[in-house]
Chain A
């Protein structure tokens, strides 16, 4: 304990910088957890969270009795699994491609172009998309000029989900690629030199050196993404959806928003829905972590896979 204290004192500047982050987490992530008890209560604002009477599992019973809730759960999972398949590899590919660019200046310029959309809010991004894809927008204008019929992009249920994926890729890929770029920059350059001497092509180096080297980062990012499978980008869906697409757009977050703000106030009911979402997200996160470890990765929480410790010891003895 004393050693720990000494260690902390030695690095006090770092710990002081860490403090606001910890305080933030405590105030905004841990303290509100007490409010989750609302899911098991019949909330009355004048009695407060703690004074409101308990209602057992009534809120959950009503929740699972609502077909719209169940549909929104499956819809959220379907959209997010699709997003994981379609959008997740894009930043990896982008990082690999950036890494292959020889002209550094060109690479930096491209990175800026790809990263910029991340700094626009979904309200603005959606406004741009709606303007471009509306019947009188740029795309339909071009189609008409070329003699094609107008395509109803914004009111089509079939096009809504692809639009979500594409807009997500456009907005976030450049930013997400940064973490992979950082990982790539940590690869030992000697590996590439050795491969070059052996006559490896650039593509072979990318596939056999770069990609395996950033695999742990990809796995961690994948696990984190899996832990958000029940959480949709609310801002994106809210701003891009409309009456015509509401059937495919009511994901769980939209459902929670609707029951919280668009009918009469029932915070206990909405908390039950939110708690359900968080629990499922946590299960998915743990499952992905477990899966990653089973496949030989380190996982999100580190730890040593069964038998790995012995292998490591054996290796060390051999080396000695």
Chain B
């Protein structure tokens, strides 16, 4: 008995030790990677790993839409969902640890792109790729920055995703930001004029009327204006200050000297309006806690009078569907879209000259056959036929040709997103392009968004700044150290107690040592 016990003790301790060692080994990388470039079940089926921001559920992967692509290109996705909040971090870790999926959607920035390309951390496209995949190449060249990067890096490492390729809302193109949605029914109830463009002061006046009269009888739930910190930056500050651009905080004066936009008096004046909205209780009192979910309060909770919608017809369609489903309201009766102007009645946002949002990058360890298969898919999605499937779904199920034109046959209260979830296969040309003509989006919405985009140009009165390529391509540690999150910085200034001007000056002084270093670098270089 004693011997048995002793043996059992030994066996248990050895077992435990082995288990712990194995579990540690399991935690280590062991050469495994996201880049699963292996063959799937069938001989010719390839498993392709893909990192993207869309959360596609297991059930959604099994729908006809995703199955269509898997069958057509004989692939099986090994999908890696990346949360929006950890997008940059996760990609940095993947890239630097050599653990990048075969293809990923990456939040491009030049400094990182240059470092990664130089260090061989991204896949370099074969020199003849444009001849082999001409449709993808055509879409690629729609963004002028792609060509510039290619020249600088000596080849293609990054494919910036073009916003517009076949269609555009205006020429020249303008940013999609700066379009707000307001509750039309409430505006009518409080006697507020319905217009296509409002100044920030007018919107504050509307919010005051809403707060006083509470036409929706919401009591303490009512939020007159709901912008998260990023949208507050766009709507209060950028709309009033030409020097508070979202692309860069630095600009060149007419005398040729570079300046830091946030230190400009116009930013202070804009911040005063922002703080006025906060202190008067017009802006969501907890706006600083919001993170891209401000829109939910508008069309899901129905407690908001003004929110930042964005100027894409698809966004307007989403409002329509969500309001119908959540609030049992017809959005056409209760929502009005308008552009937001500065108090000088001008529109102050930059021309969308670079025409891209985010990028596609490939793992340096990707196999040739996986790369070619993905490029086949991308190339096809860049054709007219591919764009229709990506944006309208399956022929005969979601849409059909009537008199030679593709027509949506989806029920009115159903969207492709509801039906299939995120359509990640539409990975290259952004949906915004097809949204301009997409027949599954109401024609009124498409026309309305196009007319608002044109209105931005009209109200811009030619006061647009071109992209400063010198600054875009400048790489230095001094530049890295002045990459502040202005949405967060301004939100902090707004909620601080005391005098805004004093706080703003203290904030400028605090940042200035680092900013000056970068300004000196820019002024001595260009």
- Chain A positions near chain B (C-beta within 8 angstroms): 13, 16-17, 19-21, 23-24, 27, 44-47, 62, 65-67, 130, 134-135, 144, 150, 152, 154-155, 157, 242-244, 246-247, 259-267, 269
Total A-B pairs, Cβ < 8 A: 100
Return chain A residues, CB-CB under 8 Å to B280: none
User: Are B96's CB and A17's CB within 8 A?
Assistant: no
Return chain A residues, CB-CB under 8 Å to B477: 62, 266, 269
Return chain A residues, CB-CB under 8 Å to B513: 65, 67
User: Are A265's CB and B112's CB within 8 A?
Assistant: yes
User: Are A46's CB and B491's CB within 8 A?
Assistant: no
Return chain A residues, CB-CB under 8 Å to B514: 66-67
User: Are A265's CB and B96's CB within 8 A?
Assistant: yes
Among B20-28, B210-218, B459-467, the stretch in contact with A:
B20-28
Task: Find the A residue at minimum CB distance from B514.
Answer: A66
Return chain B residues, CB-CB under 8 Å to A262: 88, 483, 485
Q: Which residues of B, 2-30, contact A by the 8 Å Cβ criterion?
A: 9-10, 13-14, 16-17, 20-21, 24, 28
User: Are A44's CB and B13's CB within 8 A?
Assistant: no
Among B263-271, B284-292, B351-359, B397-405, the stretch in contact with A:
B284-292
Take A45-B119, A262-B88 as given contacts and tell me if A244 and B495 are in contact as well, using a CB distance cutoff of 8 Å: yes
Q: List 7 A-B contacts (CB under 8 A).
A: A27-B28, A45-B121, A46-B118, A47-B119, A243-B229, A244-B491, A264-B111
User: Are A243's CB and B288's CB within 8 A?
Assistant: yes
Return chain B residues, CB-CB under 8 Å to A62: 477, 481
- If A20-B17, A23-B21, A242-B289 are given as contacts, then 4 extra A-B residue pairs at C-beta distance below 8 Å, sorted by A number, are A20-B21, A44-B119, A265-B92, A265-B96
User: Are B488's CB and A243's CB within 8 A?
Assistant: yes
Take A67-B513, A263-B481, A266-B480 as given contacts and tell me if A243 and B492 are in contact as well, using a CB distance cutoff of 8 Å: yes
Query: In the complex, A261→B9 CA distance in Å?
Result: 48
Distance of B99 from chain A, by nearest CB (Å):
12
Query: In the complex, A24→B21 CA distance in Å?
Result: 8
Q: Which residues of B, 75-132, contact A by the 8 Å Cβ criterion?
A: 88-89, 92, 95-96, 109, 111-112, 115, 118-121
Distance of B260 from chain A, by nearest CB (Å):
16
Take A16-B14, A17-B13 as given contacts and tell me if A27 and B24 are in contact as well, using a CB distance cutoff of 8 Å: yes
Which are the 10 A-B pairs with shortest beta-carbon distances? A20-B20, A243-B491, A46-B119, A263-B483, A243-B288, A264-B111, A261-B89, A244-B288, A243-B488, A244-B495
Partner of B96, one of A45, A47, A247: A45
Distance of A4 from chain B, by nearest CB (Å):
21
Task: Find the B residue at minimum CB distance from A150.
Answer: B285
Distance of A95 from chain B, by nearest CB (Å):
30
Return chain B residues, CB-CB under 8 Å to A46: 118-121
Task: Find the B residue at minimum CB distance from A18.
Answer: B17
Q: Cβ of B254 < 8 Å from any Cβ of A? A: no
Query: In the complex, A23→B24 CA distance in Å?
Result: 9
Q: How many residues of B contact A (CB 8 A)?
A: 44
User: Are B28's CB and A265's CB within 8 A?
Assistant: no
User: Are B286's CB and A135's CB within 8 A?
Assistant: yes
Take A20-B17, A45-B119, A266-B480 as given contacts and tell me if A155 and B286 are in contact as well, using a CB distance cutoff of 8 Å: yes
Q: Which of A264, A267, A269 has the most chain B CB within a 10 Å cutoff? A: A264
Return chain A residues, CB-CB under 8 Å to B119: 44-47
Query: In the complex, A267→B120 CA distance in Å?
Result: 17
Query: In the complex, A110→B308 CA distance in Å?
Result: 49
User: Are B88's CB and A261's CB within 8 A?
Assistant: yes
Take A62-B477, A67-B513 as given contacts and tell me if A267 and B17 are in contact as well, using a CB distance cutoff of 8 Å: no
User: Are B88's CB and A247's CB within 8 A?
Assistant: no
User: Are A135's CB and B285's CB within 8 A?
Assistant: yes
Distance of A239 from chain B, by nearest CB (Å):
11
User: Are B289's CB and A134's CB within 8 A?
Assistant: yes
Q: Which of A23, A66, A242, A260 has the most chain B CB within a 10 Å cutoff? A: A242
Q: Cβ of B510 < 8 Å from any Cβ of A? A: yes
Return chain B residues, CB-CB under 8 Å to A130: 289
Distance of A269 from chain B, by nearest CB (Å):
7
Return chain B residues, CB-CB under 8 Å to A261: 88-89, 92
Q: Which residues of B, 172-229, contact A by the 8 Å Cβ criterion?
A: 220, 229
Take A20-B24, A243-B491, A264-B111 as given contacts and tell me if A154 and B120 are in contact as well, using a CB distance cutoff of 8 Å: no
